[in-house]
Amino acid sequence: MHVRDLAQYLAELAENNNRAWFVMNKPRYDILRAEFLEMTTRLIAGITRFDPAVAACNPKKALFRINRDLRFARDPKPYKTHFSAAITASGLKKPSQGGGPAYYFHVDETGQLLIAGGEYMPPPDRLRQIRRQVIADADGFSAMLKNRKLRAAYGDLQTEGKLTRPPKGFDADTPHADYIRHKSFIVWNERSVAGMTGDEMERIVLENFRDAQALVQWLRTVPGDSQGEMAPSRN
């Protein structure tokens, strides 16, 4: 993966987010997309060594499209300004598809690499199931939160917003009441890709995915068919 070329391309796309520029630079996009797919394929193989559940994940389906869905968007820009992928046991990405807890990463137009694991903004039914499992498996949830690798790489569970009080049906004095107010069950960290080689980025992403495994594994214990999605995907 030519990391510097990818960051440069995304920065230029952010400045020229229109179809004419995209078409003119399509050969660059095709090369970078192919490299990103190759890296994702290797990452799936790497994850499989410590989490065999993702072995069947199709790397082509793990990648997010560059085109934005403009049907309900206020922002008319047609293209995303990041390359991203979500690796799940089901091989699916989106909450509506039942993708499940995932290992996620992206590189954006500012040259930032984001690495994440867990479920980002799962649908209401799935979120309710997760919250119930926090109570039903309070000891297991506590053990996951204390996982040494998870805490060293990410700290505590993160959220992009949570309820001011416990949701309906949950008491304020219930175990892990603060976490029950979360709308997402995710961890993530970010770093600059400046000066980073493709091999270095691949190694860093894989190491951080391994560190996020405790959360991903715990989320798989949550009952129910709908498995939600992970991490801040910006899709």
Q: What is the pLDDT of residue 233?
A: 46
Residue 70 pLDDT grade (very low, low, confident, very high; cuts 50, 70, 90):
confident
Instruction: Compute φ and ψ for 105, nearest 5 degrees.
Output: -150, 155
Q: What is the pLDDT of residue 34?
A: 98
Instruction: Compute φ and ψ for 176, nearest 5 degrees.
Output: 60, 40
The 10s digit of each residue's pLDDT in 135-169 is: 999 999 999 999 999 999 999 998 877 888 888 88
Q: What is the mean pLDDT of the chain?
A: 90
The 10s digit of each residue's pLDDT in 22-46 is: 999 999 999 999 999 999 999 999 9
Beta 185-192 vs 112-119: how paired, if at all?
antiparallel
The mean-pLDDT minimum among 84-93, 128-137, 175-184, 212-221 falls in 84-93
Task: Answer whether 178's CB lies under 8 Å from 170's CB.
Answer: no
The 10s digit of each residue's pLDDT in 181-211 is: 999 999 999 999 999 999 999 999 999 999 9
Distance CA 215, CA 31 (A): 34
pTM of structure: 0.90
Task: Answer whether 131's CB lies under 8 Å from 180's CB.
Answer: yes
Q: What is the pLDDT of residue 211?
A: 98
Beta 102-108 vs 112-119: how paired, if at all?
antiparallel
In three-state form (DSSP H/G/I as H, E/B as E, the rest C), the secondary structure along the chain is CCHHHHHHHHHHHHHCCCHHHHHHCHHHHHHHHHHHHHHHHHHHHHHHCCCHHHCCCCHHHHECCCECCCCCCCCCCCECCEEEEEEECCCCCCHHHCCCCEEEEEEECCCEEEEEEEECCCCHHHHHHHHHHHHHCHHHHHHHHCCHHHHHHHCCCECCCECCCCCCCCCCCCCCHHHHCECCEEEEEEEECCCCCHHHHHHHHHHHHHHCHHHHHHHCCCCCCCCCCCCCCCC
CB within 8 Å of 185: residues ≥ 6 apart: 118, 119, 122, 130, 157, 179, 215, 219
Q: What is the pLDDT of residue 165?
A: 84
pLDDT of residue 76 exceeding 90, the answer is no
Distance CA 175, CA 136 (A): 9
Distance CA 117, CA 186 (A): 6
Q: What is the pLDDT of residue 160?
A: 75
Read off the tokens for 142: 């506590």
Q: How far apart are the first and last CA of the chain?
A: 22
